[in-house]
Amino acid sequence: MVNLKVNMPVHLLQIDEQSLGKPQPFAGASGLGAWQLLSRCESEDAESCVLLHKIRDMARRNKADARAVLAALDKFIKVVATGQPIENFYDKKQSHPLHEFPYKGQTRVVWRLRKADIRIAFYYAQGKVIFLADALAKREDKLTEREKNQLEREVKIYIDAEESQQLVILTQQGE
């Protein structure tokens, strides 16, 4: 087992309406105990968000996929704002475990949300945090080895940074 050492902070962007380019919701839109959606950035700049870059690339290749991923994220943002369990809002076909792997003595589970041919891969982190690991356009359900390795890499980076207290949460305006 290879541990990914985190010597520097891992910057995370809070994914919300503003990060998707929508106006801010009215005050009080989030319920008590709301979940927090986070995605990794390449630097301390919110514009380097890996997930948002994937969505932009997806939009260049296929407009329908881009609309589906944005619609899925829009609903997910509303769902997490309630603070309720995610499974209250999605059936088993829409959301279920996508991939499992061992890491640091535990089985880690990456979940998926499905909207048309889009899969949003996420990991339940400590507290009420959902780490958005990837957005994939999948015409078939089976993950490739490359996709599995990429998901594992993202989750391991998050776990290692969380354990070493190296997580820095950004907003669209910066830290």
pLDDT reading at 160 higher than 70? yes
Q: Are 80 and 86 in contact (CB under 8 A)?
A: yes
Q: How many other β-carbons are positioned within 10 Å of the β-carbon of residue 114?
A: 19
Could you report the per-residue pLDDT of 94-116, keeping only the tens digit for each?
A: 999 999 999 999 999 999 999 98
Q: How many other β-carbons are positioned within 10 Å of the β-carbon of residue 64?
A: 12
Could you report the per-residue pLDDT of 6-39, keeping only the tens digit for each?
A: 568 999 999 988 888 877 654 445 556 889 999 9
pTM (two decimals)? 0.88
* The one-letter amino acid at 106: Q
